[in-house]
Structure 1
């Protein structure tokens, strides 16, 4: 699949949502919590406490919804500032009990409406980035669909970031990139290729740690192996001291950009690689 084919797959209406992943992995053990204690409860962010085996975990997901009614209620997965503040409230609660945090990322980006800006959208995202970097409990983020811009990164400052094989993760949408660089929507597929936003590209560049096979339904046996993988990962990080845990997270982000390769397109639009 070309990069833009994966963009299309990541946006598919038939794709499993954060709610599906939570149901498949945790079932009735998930207890949802609501509200940011400041303004409102943002339904685009589904959050609560669950268990994996005997291990309690905090679970937070950017949820697009399954049908038109749900998508409107959840703002198509584009969270308001109260959604990010709810997420941070639960993460700080998890830190208090050293409960691991699991985040599911699926958003085209944070909501950019006037009301969201007036209520401090930029500040809410910035606070999440700052607080997650120093959170003294293990954090794992999984990009299950779209991982768009700061709205995705606000739940992805983690010890590890994983992606489903057809998910995408980028600073900007392919359409936005084509508009800025070429002012031509016909260049959208080329922009997707240039952005290196697929799971394979990002794994090669050490931006993510693992690529996960795509479960097609909540009954998929892949969820059993994913559940075990999550539990083993959390056990590894829970064995670390606070200092080791934070150093691990810090070094993960410090290594970004350590590459000798620059990918461009030449005039006939064939892919080239420069040192």
Structure 2
């Protein structure tokens, strides 16, 4: 298991778990302190439940970005078999911020695509911090069109702060690549299940998130811009991210009220980063349920219902 990384609001939990570690070291010397350790562990679980049942929107955004949170390749390893990664957009190159390929989901052939972040500095740079270039979106589209050709369901995992805004990306048609994905996904004649697992940032997320069913993990976020970016625009002060998060309302509880997503998938207590296996199991069960429902629809019905789904979102929230 990865070394625990605590967020600011988890400091009371960190202090208690530090004391538990100290007591466990004393126990190695033969001291009988089992009851003390058990009492502290019970207090930790109680405190964790209290904190995570009352997260602010800004705190939820921090959980969604946690460095130990499972990424697309983690979900692929835990939920799929026989994964074969496919590379390149057949135009410019291979974008490491988006991974995708063929796999089996409960024995059924599928195409799986998702954003991929990194954990250490080398991997973060290699994955471009999970921010795709145009070739990443064109690779994703190539795989989705292949899925349609062979009548395979598409499953996507969304976790990006946004599309890469660099000069090279703009020169190679970043906006066009995103717009083309939106158009093509809207009319793709095969089931599409979208899973928002961390950050769902703007068009960079939406470019692989036009689906028949959209699932969102309990502590993920989905918005047109990051809280810090919003604060920088509104108040010329990126440090007001917490204030912007309250205005954006990017959490799963907020988004489902707008009809943008179909289901909130629960996470283990303390967040997905604390138990990858349990998170993947919850998400896999939800995906399987929705895929079963979608497989009963004809290609024409899928496209029509998808169209109606996104048209129904064009209303103002109260």
TM-score (norm 1): 0.90
The structural deviation recorded for 1:254 is: 0.8
The structural deviation recorded for 1:184 is: 3.0
225-234 or 115-124, which moves further after superposition? Answer: 225-234
Taking the aligned partners of 2:238 and 2:99, their CA distance within structure 1 comes to 34
Taking the aligned partners of 1:46 and 1:75, their CA distance within structure 2 comes to 12
The residue number in structure 2 matching 1:210 is 263
More strand by share: 1
The structural deviation recorded for 1:11 is: 1.4
Taking the aligned partners of 2:186 and 2:149, their CA distance within structure 1 comes to 15
SS at match of 1:220: helix
The residue number in structure 2 matching 1:71 is 124
Taking the aligned partners of 2:287 and 2:140, their CA distance within structure 1 comes to 20
Per the alignment, do residues 62 and 199 of structure 1 end up closer, same or farther by CA in structure 2, a change over 3 Å counting?
same
Segments of 4+ moved more than 4 angstroms: none
Taking the aligned partners of 2:197 and 2:317, their CA distance within structure 1 comes to 29
Please show how residues 25-44 of structure 1 align to structure 2 within 5 Å. Answer: 25-26=79-80, 28-44=81-97
More helix by share: 2
Taking the aligned partners of 2:279 and 2:235, their CA distance within structure 1 comes to 41
Please show how residues 22-171 of structure 1 align to structure 2 within 5 Å. Answer: 22-26=76-80, 28-171=81-224
Taking the aligned partners of 2:75 and 2:218, their CA distance within structure 1 comes to 15
Q: Check the 8 A contact 2:265/2:282 in 1, yes or no.
A: no
45-54 or 134-143, which moves further after superposition? Answer: 45-54
Q: Check the 8 A contact 2:66/2:273 in 1, yes or no.
A: no
1:80-117, Cα deviation, whole Å (9 max, x unpaired): 11100000000000001110000001100001111111
Taking the aligned partners of 1:30 and 1:260, their CA distance within structure 2 comes to 41
The residue number in structure 2 matching 1:268 is none
The residue number in structure 2 matching 1:15 is 69
Taking the aligned partners of 1:226 and 1:187, their CA distance within structure 2 comes to 33
The residue number in structure 1 matching 2:297 is 240
Cα RMSD (Å) of the superposition?
A: 1.5
Q: Check the 8 A contact 2:98/2:113 in 1, yes or no.
A: yes
Taking the aligned partners of 1:206 and 1:229, their CA distance within structure 2 comes to 17
Instruction: Report whether the alignment pairs 1:226 with 2:283.
Output: yes
1:168-216, Cα deviation, whole Å (9 max, x unpaired): 1100111111122222334321110111100110012211111112244
Taking the aligned partners of 1:224 and 1:146, their CA distance within structure 2 comes to 20
Taking the aligned partners of 1:107 and 1:87, their CA distance within structure 2 comes to 14
183-192 or 217-226, which moves further after superposition? Answer: 217-226
Q: Check the 8 A contact 1:110/1:152 in 2, yes or no.
A: yes
125-134 or 227-236, which moves further after superposition? Answer: 227-236
Taking the aligned partners of 2:258 and 2:84, their CA distance within structure 1 comes to 37
Q: Check the 8 A contact 1:149/1:172 in 2, yes or no.
A: yes
The structural deviation recorded for 1:260 is: 5.5
Q: Structure 2, unaligned stretches of length 5 or more?
A: 1-54
Taking the aligned partners of 1:234 and 1:38, their CA distance within structure 2 comes to 32
Taking the aligned partners of 2:317 and 2:90, their CA distance within structure 1 comes to 46
207-216 or 158-167, which moves further after superposition? Answer: 207-216
Larger radius of gyration: 2
TM-score (norm 2): 0.78
Taking the aligned partners of 2:301 and 2:207, their CA distance within structure 1 comes to 22
Q: Check the 8 A contact 1:16/1:217 in 2, yes or no.
A: no
202-211 or 99-108, which moves further after superposition? Answer: 202-211
SS at match of 1:29: strand
